[in-house]
Structure 1
């Protein structure tokens, strides 16, 4: 799971001295196609420790070795079971042929099994390790740089949802119970607030009032699920910009990675999180609150790309709740940041005093921008929906 600020504490990393030999031994326990030529740390993920493994062969093959964070995933076996179930389903769909991808490359991360017992993981010295295929000739981005890129991010999420739309959600474990269920975050906030010191700073007072004014809104999607308007489907759970891989040459979306959070849920949480990530040009770490805004033009591109791939399985109720989804997820993340600030920064990693408070203010400012443009955003959704109806 590649996360940004929204990340719990890491497990202790391996020291430099024991890295090469022990890591190579762990990687060699998987069914690799050839001898290991190179092994190096990959990226700067905040949850799992990741390493790039290069194997001999013609051509050379690369894999990603990861140690799952058991602080986050208490039952990593279920995470792997979900990944296997989704991978098998997607592979079957791709083998049948997918019209959306007739002229496109699309890859799904492949899980490599242990050569010892055939399980999709290896346990060593208390660590839980997995090996997955590397998406070659691709790259990811932390911020959307163009309208075309925004459309590709949306299309990539739409393709993923399309490919798993007929996978029964009951066959997937809920590996992160309560994740993206906003009323539960509100309950946790209330519990933390009850024992937190009285707010002193004006920014804290603003956040308190902001949450209170939107308390009833927090259940908008869960209430729709409980009433039968929305239904559980398989979701990615963390479809931010940098989890959509872009083909290096064409710039087209070619994979969706970091599948730790795949679980049954509402696709609106995925859509809302994708839009929150894509349509805030300044990102979630900016200090320029006045400049934070939800970019409607980028929203148009993301949704256009998404609907081009996913509209076939969307219901009228799904469309009706798209605006609520984009408004809710930015509010939810702001609520989580503010809660952690009140709790003493026990969940999200921080690097300065007031860091989580600043993050909360950014997300609440983004929420305000979405709310201020509600009419325009609802009109955009209606327009895109009507355009698709005409095409059909």
Structure 2
């Protein structure tokens, strides 16, 4: 199978003899390191955009371009991996219904798939927080929603309830305890909705996918460099970014771990993540947003549990599975993580309060 069509390489002035290596652990887009053999100092990232997930790749390119121009004007020294125009001056190259875009490869960088120490959590959270801070005054009405309703919990709950009505009887019977859990935690959605009309719960330009593999750290000392994978950079609430960090940074095991006894919160990672995030955002977050810091984790973890459970009830049509009931086990995993957040709430909130006090002096 041809990794990248020659015609695409030529659109970016890359020869057909270009060195091509598929990289990254992402499940959505295919990502390649590309460079001409005689000019290895100029290396690039070329991605094939998954247009099944991202219905309008041009919206992504436009969002990134608008934000890139804003950052270049206001913060010219900030490293933001914008897209490189092709030879026709276009940020997206389309051929036979397949979409491609290119950016510069950032040398001396590394993207981890898992966290191995609290400092990495601090550095990653600081980088995502920094982007939020720099975009505090960005006019978000200019941005398109690249995945509508991506973190809309009411939308996900409606999908879940519809799946319950249509699921096979055996699916319902096997899942009844987890379905009951989902219903018991529905107050999380009601609590979130009670804040939506507050002017202090701001819409911001938010990354929305803050797992550790979406931030580049220096491969020598793990210092933060920049965030990457900007497909979901669109309007949203800060809860999406911080909540997704909590979901993916705090436990040593991913949602694929079926042994629920292993699903616990690493307190030192939580403290480092909170301190990293607030080191950049404490001065721009509103009092309402500060009040919702810990809640953001509950919101995103609950939403992800609902999504896994819904997919199980629908017959595993969205998330790939390796064995029967894997999506059900993933949902149980996330409900256990949610329970750990609630069980440790007093301790975690105390950590947050101390960090706020320190950074808002």
Bin of the TM-score, shorter chain as denominator length: over 0.9
CA distance in 2, matches of 1:166, 1:108: 17
Comparing 360-369 and 214-223, the one that deviates more:
214-223
Q: Does 1:49 align with 2:30?
A: yes
Q: Does 1:216 align with 2:187?
A: yes
Cα pair distance change 1:361/1:202, threshold 3 Å? farther
Which of 290, 295, 318 is equivalent to 2:289?
A: 318
State the SS of the aligned residue for 1:331: helix
Q: Does 1:19 align with 2:3?
A: yes
Q: Which residue of 2 aligns with 1:187?
A: 158
CA distance in 1, matches of 2:339, 2:146: 32
Which of 318, 321, 344 is equivalent to 1:373?
A: 344
Q: Which residue of 2 aligns with 1:80?
A: 61
Counterparts in 2 of 1:238-253, with a 5 A limit?
Answer: 238-253=209-224
Q: Which residue of 1 aligns with 2:80?
A: 108
CA distance in 1, matches of 2:273, 2:113: 15
Counterparts in 2 of 1:125-274, with a 5 A limit?
Answer: 125-198=96-169, 204-274=175-245
CA distance in 1, matches of 2:356, 2:170: 45
CA distance in 1, matches of 2:169, 2:18: 57
Which of 255, 265, 269 is equivalent to 1:284?
A: 255
What is the deviation of 1:226?
2.5
Cα pair 2:59 2:144 within 8 Å, conserved: yes
Q: Which residue of 2 aligns with 1:30?
A: 12
CA distance in 1, matches of 2:154, 2:172: 26
Cα pair distance change 1:296/1:172, threshold 3 Å? same
Counterparts in 2 of 1:350-369, with a 5 A limit?
Answer: 350-369=321-340
What is the deviation of 1:202?
7.4
Cα pair distance change 1:192/1:200, threshold 3 Å? closer
Cα pair 1:181 1:222 within 8 Å, conserved: no
State the SS of the aligned residue for 2:64: helix
Cα pair distance change 1:57/1:312, threshold 3 Å? farther
Q: Deviations over 1:123-168 (max 9, x none)?
A: 1112111111112111111221112111111111111112222211
State the SS of the aligned residue for 1:246: strand
Q: Deviations over 1:330-354 (max 9, x none)?
A: 1110110000000000111112111
What is the deviation of 1:214?
1.0
Cα pair 2:111 2:217 within 8 Å, conserved: yes
What is the deviation of 1:44?
3.8
- How many residues get paired? 361
Which contiguous aligned blocks of 4+ residues in structure 1 show a shift greater than 4 angstroms? 56-59, 199-203
State the SS of the aligned residue for 2:243: helix
What is the deviation of 1:35?
8.3
State the SS of the aligned residue for 2:282: helix
Q: TM-score, normalised by structure 1?
A: 0.87
Which of 21, 24, 27 is equivalent to 1:40?
A: 21
What is the deviation of 1:56?
5.4
Cα pair distance change 1:227/1:162, threshold 3 Å? closer
Unaligned runs of 5+ in 1: 1-15, 98-105
What is the deviation of 1:120?
0.4
Cα pair distance change 1:299/1:56, threshold 3 Å? same
Q: Deviations over 1:320-375 (max 9, x none)?
A: 01111111111110110000000000111112111111111111100000010111
Comparing 253-262 and 290-299, the one that deviates more:
290-299
Cα pair distance change 1:219/1:120, threshold 3 Å? farther
Cα pair 2:19 2:37 within 8 Å, conserved: no
Q: Which residue of 2 aligns with 1:335?
A: 306
Unaligned runs of 5+ in 2: none
CA RMSD in angstroms comes to: 1.9
State the SS of the aligned residue for 1:71: coil
CA distance in 2, matches of 1:389, 1:43: 37
CA distance in 1, matches of 2:56, 2:171: 40
Q: TM-score, normalised by structure 2?
A: 0.94
Cα pair distance change 1:219/1:133, threshold 3 Å? farther
